[in-house]
Amino acid sequence: MAKRKTKYVCQDCGYESAKWMGKCPGCNNWNTLVEELEVSTTKGRQTFSGVTTSGSKPEKISAIESKKEPRVTTDLKEFNRVLGGGIVAGSLALIGGDPGIGKSTLLLQVSSQLANKQLNVLYISGEESPKQTKLRADRLGIKSDSLYVLSETNLLDITNHIEQLKPSFVVIDSIQTIFREEISSAPGSVSQVRECTSELMRIAKTSGIPIFIVGHVTKEGAIAGPRLLEHMVDAVLYFEGERHHTYRILRGVKNRFGSTNEMGIFEMKEEGLREVMNPSEIFLEERSEGASGSTVVASMEGTRPVLVEIQALISPTSFGNPRRMATGIDHNRVPLLMAVLEKRVGLMLQTSDAYIKVAGGVKLDEPAIDLAIAVSITSSFRDQPTRPEDIFIGEVGLTGEIRRVSRIEQRVQEAAKLGFKRVICPQNNLDGWTTPTGIQVIGVNTVKEALEVGLAR
């Protein structure tokens, strides 16, 4: 008999080695290399990510016909927004999130809405029996003869069912439970996830069937399995939110058919997920007026401006080293902005603890929120509240200057729509557009100027 060849594959990053090592050279994690059998590739057509490359010829880009991708829309407008306008035929999308956050509920609702449009939908669950799926469907009020449920984990059987039923939409829940018989490793391993996703990609591209696959996440919140998984699919969506809160955020981090970093907000009800059409009102409805350390910023989430409250609490420290904690923003941004306030404004923050929070459970990562954070810190330190009708927008440089931000017009229009009276923004953003009626836009050049305007009595 021929000797079986084995290799060691990292279960976090997919690094392959001929021998076992305690520490993976690819991701520097310990005890992640697992022994697997090598799979011999078949001769003939060479494929990459499930797309056949043999027989293709170079074409002039000017001779290639460009046409708009046909899309299928659902009744959830927020879901359509994150996908760029709807579901594209032949696309492969990956959705990840914490356990119990509502991934299966969302996809079952979407499947029901497509089935109500007389489209055959195949919902494949590798974690639940058909009776368990039926119980969730009864809770959501789903009844359709075009929605088919299958409990299967063998990829070969799944492929046969897809070829026989020829559905218009397929859901795989989840990719970590699907396996190929010719691969000896356990379901959920790097080899299984990679090969199963590659086969699903081939099915989607050759048959034109859009496929949604659910992916488990690690303790750090990233989708489990090799990073190659996110490169192979057409769209990557993250379903976020606190399990103890009713609001859920569907965030797109990759989309080959639309803009990235789009965000859709849903509210979890007993009868399922309900979309929130105006998230700014939700995030600001419990804001207390007259409290120090509270400011409002207009942040861009994809193409949508969202008004969010940023809260800061500055208190004397009881330790040798003051604490710096942040929720909803990068924790490294807090000491940076506090250093700017100490150097350029003269605030003595060295002996104070700082706690920064973005209200509502939203995560903000754009530079335009710097000014709002700096004003919140100063407001709490001086115990001097800001005006409840003010909004602060701007990026703060290390020399204390306020730098230009993008899409200032959309931000100001959203603020005017919700009744705010003043917007403090960079001076360089005031040219080239018309200010909406009913709102005053004040341009500032430095953090000191912004504080003098925003914290004036």
Contact 280, 268 (CB under 8 A): no
- The answer on whether 191 is annotated among ligand-binding residues is no
Which residues touch 427 (CB under 8 Å, ≥6 apart)?
402, 443, 444, 445
* 148's tokens: 């088919």
Residue with tokens 């789009």: 262
How many CB atoms neighbour CB 62 within 10 A? Answer: 5
- The answer on whether 101 is annotated among ligand-binding residues is yes
- The answer on whether 99 is annotated among ligand-binding residues is yes
378 DSSP β-pair partners: none
- The answer on whether 104 is annotated among ligand-binding residues is yes
What is the residue type of 68? K
Mind giving me the DSSP string for 217-259? B-TTSSBSS-THHHHHSSEEEEEE--TTSSEEEEEEEEETTS-
Query: Which sign, positive or negative, has the C-alpha torsion 57, 61, 64, 66?
Result: positive
From the CA atom positions of the chain, what is the Rg in Å? 26
Q: Return phi, psi of residue 292, to 5°.
A: -75, 155
Q: In angstroms, rounded to a whole number, what is the distance separating the alpha carbons of residues 235 and 74?
A: 17
The CA-CA-CA angle for residues 183, 186, 189, to 5°, reads: 90
- The answer on whether 264 is annotated among ligand-binding residues is no
- The answer on whether 14 is annotated among ligand-binding residues is no
What beta strand segments (E) does 11-166 contain?
Answer: 16-17, 33-37, 47-48, 51-52, 71-72, 87-88, 92-97, 121-125, 147-151
- The answer on whether 102 is annotated among ligand-binding residues is yes
- The answer on whether 97 is annotated among ligand-binding residues is yes
What is the residue type of 136? R
Binding-site residues for ATP sit at 97-104
Binding-site residues sit at 97-104
